[in-house]
Structure 1
Amino acid sequence: MEAILRAASQAAGVELSEPVDLGGNPRSTVLRCRTAEGDSVVVKAYAAEPDALRGFTAEAAALSLGLAGPGLLGVDPAVPLLVMADLGTAPTLADVLLGDDPEAAVDGLLAWAGGLGRLAAASMPRRADFAELRARYGGHPADPNRDGELPAGQVRHGTLPAEDESWIAGLAPGLSGLLDEVGVAAPPGLAEDMALVGTVDHDEYPAFTPGDTCPDNNLLTPDGLRLIDFESAAYESVFLTAAYCRMPFSSCWCVFTLPDGMAEKIEEVYRAEVVTIYPALADDAVWHAGVRRAVAVWTTHMTVFLLPRVVEEDRFMHRTRRPVSTMRQVLRHRWEMASALTEFPAFAETMRLLLREVAGPWKVTPLPGYPAFGG
């Protein structure tokens, strides 16, 4: 802690004290600290391991763009750490969706969708800048024993990938292997369908995204939506974000169902912003085909991620937050939606097989609605 404070003080150019642990994760330590003038800042120090370094590189580059997120007050690539402006304790989108005020939930959803769309539109001239910043911050390997003080973290993945190295490429083999494990025979044509699904990552409509746009990473401040957590920031297809509106919240823990018409409403709010940079997306055929591919991508991703965890017994989507749905509820809901993707017949049949052969014996209740709308 003392080593982090010293490095953060030097990076920010002001003495910091009174650290309060804000939680973080195995890859990072997040602290709220006081300046000598009595103001507060947030310090995020990353573990000296490959996955954490990847998160640092993406977040440092993203915040340096100045398009979204807290103001960046200092960077030390050698630790590595960031010093950021403190956005305070405003409620998150998750807070209002899990609360009891439907009007606040609607306002939060619209602010979230519009904010992400405006960010995507504003990002278009900055892609080369982002790539340059990634190269700059990714070129400073951290020393876990800098001054003999900072501990190493934990490894999850491998070395820092290039921005255009797709996480989507690993989904098809991951799904194939998982089907073998749970005893579901892949229908003929699945590999071909997955190849078509994967083209969402190579379309003509990329834009900047923080990466993890889940409800708990969106603060609803008096000044409007403010985003946090840019560890997965990248330029990706706008359809991948649009699917977050439709599904909703494709890869998140805060997953329930929305009232009728609400998903379509927030999707149109996001779409209206990105159409300003990609007029072709005003064509319903182009738009809906892209979003449906993205739904298939995210469904595959969450299947590969969640199903191995619940083969034996169900688990909650979050360790401590309540109310919360269960993993089996979310998986069944995702498979039901994806089984309607008839343009990918083998993929849709795979979803139906999972519903019948895997989810059938679970006997879980349907995914409920968000508490703010009456559950």
Structure 2
Amino acid sequence: MWTQLPFGEGLRAALGPPRGPRRLESSPRSRVWRVELAGTPAVVKQLVAGPGAEERYAREVAALRIASRAEPAVVPALLGTDPGERVLVLAHVDHRPPPREWIVGYAKALARLHATGVPADAGLLPAWSGPTQGDADSFLHLAETLGVTVAPGVPAELTALVGRLDRAGGHALLHGDPCPGNDLHTRGGVTFIDFEQASLGNGLTELAYVRIGFPTCWCVTKAAPALLDRAETAYRTTWKALTGTDPEADLTDACAGWLLRGDALVERARRGTVDHLARIPDHDWTWGTVSARQRLAHRLGVVAGMTADRPGLRGLHTVSTDLRRAMAARWPSLGPVPADRP
């Protein structure tokens, strides 16, 4: 039954019998319950059977074990697992509404999460994969479709950008989907949950979320520039304090990479199905708090601002500026993304 708690004999032997199971809201890819174990609240999560379920389960378990190195904790304690049923048992985390300037604490916790990864973790999780040449080509095709002139040197700029992102490497533990809602705000800081897309790579690909507008997430926000600066400074300072090094790679490249990815305009179940950038001229659709065209216009504005004086990306600056202007002229009712999370 869909409502039956998947708590087998092995988990019962290790953790005792669960009491008072209560279903919690979750994505279609998982089923989640709150239970009591020896009078202490815990969470039982089962990944629903289907394509990719075994891999997502393995990623989540590996990521939670790597992240458990952080002190204070940035993830719930992993109390038990049942690989055969794709079940995890986690400590329950009491959380509360985030503060107004939540992205500062979020960025600090994100750095602490990322810093738990070490070179010896290679192979425990897949390496992060960035935008492809196909993504770059789709982006330029969209620009031309909307009447934007693409200078001869721009395709080579984007090819070089894709190459830099592919070579960025890194061993940071990346959450994979560090969205509002996957961050639990507690008295002690931020705790992250739902690591089904975790990978190893360069942390700036996820620090970019706060500036580019949470590209893989249902909710998009645009923070004030001063708040963004505080969040990014908190990340860099925390990372250096923990690792002794400055973050490698380039935040501008990371944000530009998210701009190219049409799959970052739709929810996970629809990714990898069609060229979503090619749909923009004739279709708009809502996912979460904004429409696809709003998401794209916001990213164009961010990248245009970041690349204005950036050698090697000045052509992208011009295309981003002109494409955003073309979208505003074509769809004058296109509004800005929200300043605050729901």
Query: What residue in structure 1 maps to residue 120 of structure 2?
Result: 128
In the alignment, structure 2 segments of 5+ residues that lack a partner are 267-275
Whether 1:279 aligns to 2:245 is yes
Partner Cα separation in structure 1 for residue 166 and residue 240 of structure 2? 18
Tell whether 2:233 aligns with 1:268: yes
Distance 2:120 2:245 in 1: 22
TM-score normalized by the length of structure 2:
0.79
Q: Does 1:176 align with 2:176?
A: no
Deviates more, 1:205-214 or 1:363-372: 363-372
Provide closer, same or farther for how the CA distance between residues 215 and 192 of structure 1 changes in structure 2, counting only shifts above 3 A.
Answer: same
Q: Is the deviation greater in 221-230 or in 23-32?
A: 23-32
Aligned with 1:168: secondary structure? Answer: coil
Report the equivalent of 1:316: 286
Distance 1:249 1:365, change over 3 A: same
Aligned residue for 1:79? 85
Q: Is 227-236 or 26-35 further displaced after alignment?
A: 26-35
Correspondence for 2:270: none
User: Shift of residue 231 of structure 1?
Assistant: 1.1
**Amino acid across the alignment from 1:259:** A
Matches within 5 A, 1:48-197: 48-65=49-66, 66-67=68-69, 68-88=74-94, 90-91=95-96, 95-96=97-98, 104-106=99-101, 108-121=102-115, 123-125=116-118, 127-129=119-121, 131-132=123-124, 134=125, 163-164=126-127, 166-170=128-132, 172-177=133-138, 180=141, 183-184=145-146, 187-197=151-161
SS at match of 2:123: helix
Report if aligned partners of 1:257, 1:368 keep a CA contact under 8 Å in 2.
yes
User: Which has the higher mean CA deviation after the structures are superposed, 69-78 or 303-312?
Assistant: 303-312
Say if 2:342 is the partner of 1:336.
no
Match of 2:316 among 336, 347, 361: 347
1:53-105 alpha-carbon deviations (Å, 9 max, x no partner): 222111010112213311111111122121111113x13xxx54xxxxxxx21
Q: For residue 22 of structure 2, what is the aligned residue in structure 1? A: 20
Mapped partners of 1:332, 1:23: distance in 2: 31
Partner of residue 10, structure 2: 10
Q: Tell me which residue corresponds to 1:146.
A: none
| Sequence identity (%) | 25
State the TM-score, normalized to the length of structure 1. Answer: 0.73
**Which piece of structure 1 moves more, 1-10 or 272-281?**
1-10
SS of residue in 2 equivalent to 1:360 = helix
In the TM superposition, residue 303 of structure 1 has moved relative to its aligned partner by 6.7
Residues 117-137 of structure 1, C-alpha deviations (whole Å, 9 max, x = no match): 12323x244x424634x5xxx
Determine whether 1:299 maps to 2:281.
no
Of the three residues 16, 31, 34, the one matched with 2:33 is: 31
C-alpha displacement of 1:269: 0.5
Cα deviation code 1:158-203 (max 9, x no counterpart): xxxxx13x43153x30342465478357653444222322213422
RMSD after superposition = 3.1
Q: Which residue does the alignment assign to 2:336?
A: 367
Task: Confirm or deny: 8 A CA contact 1:30 1:44 kept in the other structure.
Answer: yes
Q: Could you tell me how far 1:42 is from its partner in structure 2? A: 1.3
**Separation (CA, whole Å) in 2 of partners of 1:10 and 1:193:** 55
* Residue identity opposite 1:239 in structure 2: L
Q: Name the structure with the higher helix share.
A: 1
Contact 1:55 1:231 in 2 (8 A): yes
Task: Answer with 75-84 or 334-343: which moved more.
Answer: 334-343
Shift of 1:235: 1.6
Q: Provide Cα deviations, 1:229-275, integer angstroms capped at 9, x if missing partner.
A: 11122221122122123334343232232224110111000011222
Q: Which position in structure 1 is the counterpart of 2:208?
A: 243
Residue equivalent to 1:212: 177
Contact 1:32–1:40 under 8 Å retained in 2: yes
How many residue pairs match? The answer is 316
Asked if 1:40 is matched to 2:41, the reply is: yes
Letter matched to residue 362 of structure 1: W
Inter-CA distance 76–345: structure 2 relative to 1 (3 Å threshold): same
SS at match of 1:57: helix
Q: 1:49 and 1:353, CA in 2 relative to 1: closer, same or farther beyond 3 A? A: farther
Change in 2 beyond 3 A, CA 1:20/1:350: farther
Task: Provide the rounded CA distance (Å) in 1 between the counterparts of 2:321 and 2:142.
Answer: 17
Alpha-carbon contact 2:208-2:254 (below 8 Å) kept = yes
Q: Is the 8 A contact 1:43 1:83 kept in 2?
A: yes
When residues 44 and 355 of structure 1 are mapped into structure 2, their CA distance, relative to the original with a 3 A threshold, is same
